[in-house]
Structure 1
Amino acid sequence: MAASITSAPFGQLPDGSAAELFTLRNNQGLTATITNYGGIVTSLTTPDRTGELGDIVLGYDTLAGYLADGGTYFGALVGRYGNRIRQGRFELDGKAYQLATNNGPNHLHGGLRGFDKVLWQAHTENGPEGPCLFLRYVSPDGEEGYPGTLTVQVRYTLTNSNALRIEYEATTDQATPLNLTHHGYFNLSAGQHPDVLGHELTLYADRYTVVDDTLIPTGELRPVAGTAMDFTSAQAIGARIGQVAGGYDHNWVLARAAGPDTWADLALAADVYEPRSGRRMRVLTDQPGVQFYSGNFLDGSLQGKGGTRYGRHAGFCLETQHFPDSPNQPAFPSTILQPGHVFRSATEYRFGAA
């Protein structure tokens, strides 16, 4: 089977601009559909142990669903700053900045109109590793309160070795915080089970960032040993979730030490196995952290693909990233991109079945 890329209209935005939907198919028959609205991965089909393909991500059938969504970030490309910034405030080079507080008292995922809500310029290429979608966006100085004109390019590759690889690149003309991530919600049963509590998760992390009651880090990096946060060996997501107030929505500190710059190669961050289907997903990244979110705020009110109601824990997220609130936490790895520097990062979601 030859790898391929096709595109189709995906509806109009309120300003009249047109969104497109791109279907990437690798030479093994796996598919990923991605729209240039928000860089959203709208579907991702992978085989179970019998070879049957199934869609393993949550989302909507139409653009209208994503436009009306009140804040799940299903499948989206998140920025400028993924995760939370305390009270939407930070100071940079002696100047104070105030961002939107769109998550209680805090700033979340780039603000009221983050990268998940903009139309990206798109082009495609059938590369040697598999079909690629390139997305580009120029965020003007002051957008959502952030300093500097930021130019971002993201490349999605559905590799012929059955991985979805996401590569990020960015430059700026002023110092600015930057924390880009992918906010896919996964359910490896492909809709055969309504929640992910039976998925078996391993996180290659022996510490996590302790947070306050608004999910802002206190600065403490606490060992996971002996706690419900310990996924150093495979554990069912639901096994100890009742011991974590509200469920999992925390950043784990990946085992390999991180410096102020991005790493040159990828390391294993997480491994997830769904025993009923046999599907497995491994997450590799060069980032220092991963936010594991267990779909706590899904409540059955959202009608997703095929009329499915997404209830609590219907999907999980593994968002590779820097730590929350890093601009206000000098002990954390820096997230400040300086002029003249190029931010580069990559994450891979690798799929298999057994």
Structure 2
Amino acid sequence: MIVLALTLAPVASAQSSNDVIELHNDTGMVVRLIPFGATVTQIEVPDRDGYPANILLGFATPAEFRVKNSKVSFGATIGRYAGRIAGAGFTIDGKPVRLMADDGPNALHGGGKAKFDTQEWSVRSRSSRAATFSLNSPDGFQGFPGRLQVAVTYRLISGNALQIDYEARTSKPTALNLTNHAYFNLAGEGSGSIRVQRLQVLARRYVATDASGIPTGAFPSVVGTPLDLRQPRALGHAIDSRVPPMGEHGYNHAWLFDKPLGRLETVARLDDIGSGRTLSVETTEPSIQVYSGGYIDGLDKGPSGRVMRTFDGIALETQHLSDSPNRPDFPTTLLRPGQVFRSTTIWRFGVSSR
């Protein structure tokens, strides 16, 4: 998060709705978006032989996203607070803020049923290469203080890359943490498990949490743990491991980067040897939450018509740390009137040789 002073294809037919915004470039990349949740519904990129495929989990139509997506948030914008807040509360300037607990005693992604991923965003602008969604979130939404004006811009840039820019302003001091919840499968949606795909996370430390997912304040070294991804490793090595801190649901862990706050750097890479598709993640954020889809329940079908099952996709959520409003030693998520929240993440796709 950067806070600044304020200065005042076959799949396409399944989504043939006025809701769908399509971005495309001259090298075979297509991105489809809908206003509901400011959601990325599909990304088509070519493999090493030039054949395109949608590499995001999701649904075939905007109507399905509206009915089903609240339980998984495929491709949606997450807020007001991505991650968990302990005890569903915190204080700002000595004043208590009470949220709606929805994850045991804690608040997940801001708490309650109504979150940013269930809101109808406005389309501020659109073209063949970019689209901006905006949302006016009222004072008290989810319990957070301040009327929040939020904008999310998706823009195709050179190198088969999608840049996501977040911007927000508030009328009262508040806490804010935004991310996107896309689930990637570089072999193509409907191709099955991601276990053979390889992940690299360029971090020396991970975020230790208690049994409920709340950070303890410790940042242990990844050395000697299944979270040591400084070199690319097949996802299955940890998904199927029970070596602490792994559990039965695979990855649902965060790493802390050593880079300066607000600097845009490459922080993670994903690749699929079979198709040759690669993904590099660049961000200004200080952390990444990796979730390998361990709670996908196998009840829904994707655009391919195939059932989406546990470990069929992986979310790479660039964001600030969970429970930062209760942790003054963590990078701050406090946003005050007169400041502008800005954050950037880039998904850069490519191909590897055989």
Structure-1-length-normalised TM-score: 0.90
2:281 matched to 1:283? yes
Q: 1:16 corresponds to which residue?
A: none
Please report how far the alpha carbon of residue 192 of structure 1 lies from its aligned counterpart in structure 2 after TM superposition: 5.9
Q: 1:252 corresponds to which residue?
A: 255
SS of the aligned residue for 1:317 comes to strand
Q: 1:101 corresponds to which residue?
A: 101
More strand by share: 1
Name stretches of at least 5 consecutive residues in structure 1 with no aligned partner.
Answer: 1-6, 11-19
Distance in 2 between residues matched to 1:210 and 1:113, nearest whole Å: 28
Please report how far the alpha carbon of residue 93 of structure 1 lies from its aligned counterpart in structure 2 after TM superposition: 1.1
2:150 matched to 1:152? yes
Structure 2 contact 20–62 (Cα < 8 Å) conserved: no
2:17 to 6, 9, 28: 9
Structure 1 contact 120–136 (Cα < 8 Å) conserved: yes
Pairing of 1:158-197 with structure 2 (within 5 A): 158-191=156-189, 193-197=191-195
1:126-148 deviations in whole A, cap 9, x for unaligned?
4xxx7110111111100110000
2:295 matched to 1:297? yes
Q: 1:119 corresponds to which residue?
A: 120
SS of the aligned residue for 1:305 comes to coil
Q: 2:92 corresponds to which residue?
A: 92
SS of the aligned residue for 2:71 comes to coil
SS of the aligned residue for 1:138 comes to strand
SS of the aligned residue for 1:220 comes to coil
Structure 1 contact 209–220 (Cα < 8 Å) conserved: yes
Distance in 1 between residues matched to 2:64 and 2:303, nearest whole Å: 9
User: What percentage of aligned pairs have identical amino acids?
Assistant: 39
Please report how far the alpha carbon of residue 98 of structure 1 lies from its aligned counterpart in structure 2 after TM superposition: 1.4
Please report how far the alpha carbon of residue 28 of structure 1 lies from its aligned counterpart in structure 2 after TM superposition: 1.5
SS of the aligned residue for 2:220 comes to strand
SS of the aligned residue for 2:329 comes to coil
Which residue identity does 2:34 align to in structure 1?
T
Structure 1 contact 251–324 (Cα < 8 Å) conserved: no
Structure 1 contact 24–131 (Cα < 8 Å) conserved: yes
Please report how far the alpha carbon of residue 250 of structure 1 lies from its aligned counterpart in structure 2 after TM superposition: 1.1
Which residue identity does 1:94 align to in structure 2?
G
Distance in 1 between residues matched to 2:51 and 2:168, nearest whole Å: 38
Distance in 1 between residues matched to 2:165 and 2:320, nearest whole Å: 15
Name stretches of at least 5 consecutive residues in structure 2 with no aligned partner.
Answer: 1-14
Distance in 2 between residues matched to 1:353 and 1:227, nearest whole Å: 29
Q: 1:17 corresponds to which residue?
A: none
Q: 1:352 corresponds to which residue?
A: 350
Please report how far the alpha carbon of residue 125 of structure 1 lies from its aligned counterpart in structure 2 after TM superposition: 4.3
Which residue identity does 1:88 align to in structure 2?
A
Q: 2:313 corresponds to which residue?
A: 315
Which residue identity does 2:259 align to in structure 1?
R
Distance in 1 between residues matched to 2:304 and 2:110, nearest whole Å: 30
Distance in 2 between residues matched to 1:289 and 1:62, nearest whole Å: 32
SS of the aligned residue for 1:210 comes to coil
Structure 1 contact 217–325 (Cα < 8 Å) conserved: yes
Q: 1:63 corresponds to which residue?
A: 62
- Is the deviation greater in 137-146 or in 58-67? 58-67
Which residue identity does 2:253 align to in structure 1?
H
1:9-34 deviations in whole A, cap 9, x for unaligned?
35xxxxxxxxx210111121210000
Q: 1:36 corresponds to which residue?
A: 35
Structure 2 contact 190–306 (Cα < 8 Å) conserved: no
SS of the aligned residue for 2:208 comes to strand
Pairing of 1:188-267 with structure 2 (within 5 A): 188-191=186-189, 193-241=191-239, 242-243=241-242, 244-245=246-247, 246-258=249-261, 263=262, 265-267=263-265
Aligned-pair Cα RMSD in Å = 1.5
- Is the deviation greater in 195-204 or in 249-258? 249-258
Structure with more contact order per residue of length (Cα contacts < 8 Å, sep ≥ 6)? 2
1:137 to 111, 127, 135: 135
Structure 2 contact 122–134 (Cα < 8 Å) conserved: yes
- Is the deviation greater in 23-32 or in 45-54? 23-32
Matched pairs, number = 331
Which residue identity does 2:150 align to in structure 1?
V
Distance in 2 between residues matched to 1:215 and 1:232, nearest whole Å: 23
Please report how far the alpha carbon of residue 159 of structure 1 lies from its aligned counterpart in structure 2 after TM superposition: 2.0
Q: 2:110 corresponds to which residue?
A: 110
Q: 2:5 corresponds to which residue?
A: none
Distance in 1 between residues matched to 2:252 and 2:132, nearest whole Å: 30
Distance in 2 between residues matched to 1:53 and 1:124, nearest whole Å: 27
Please report how far the alpha carbon of residue 123 of structure 1 lies from its aligned counterpart in structure 2 after TM superposition: 3.4
Please report how far the alpha carbon of residue 309 of structure 1 lies from its aligned counterpart in structure 2 after TM superposition: 1.1
Distance in 1 between residues matched to 2:34 and 2:190, nearest whole Å: 25
Please report how far the alpha carbon of residue 321 of structure 1 lies from its aligned counterpart in structure 2 after TM superposition: 0.2
Distance in 2 between residues matched to 1:232 and 1:186, nearest whole Å: 20
Please report how far the alpha carbon of residue 8 of structure 1 lies from its aligned counterpart in structure 2 after TM superposition: 6.2
1:173-197 deviations in whole A, cap 9, x for unaligned?
1110000101000000003631111
Q: 2:8 corresponds to which residue?
A: none
Which residue identity does 1:121 align to in structure 2?
S
Distance in 2 between residues matched to 1:341 and 1:200, nearest whole Å: 39
Structure 2 contact 190–307 (Cα < 8 Å) conserved: no
1:148-206 deviations in whole A, cap 9, x for unaligned?
01111111002242101000111111110000101000000003631111111110111
SS of the aligned residue for 2:17 comes to strand
> Structure 1 pair 266/178, CA: closer, same or farther in 2 (3 Å)?
same
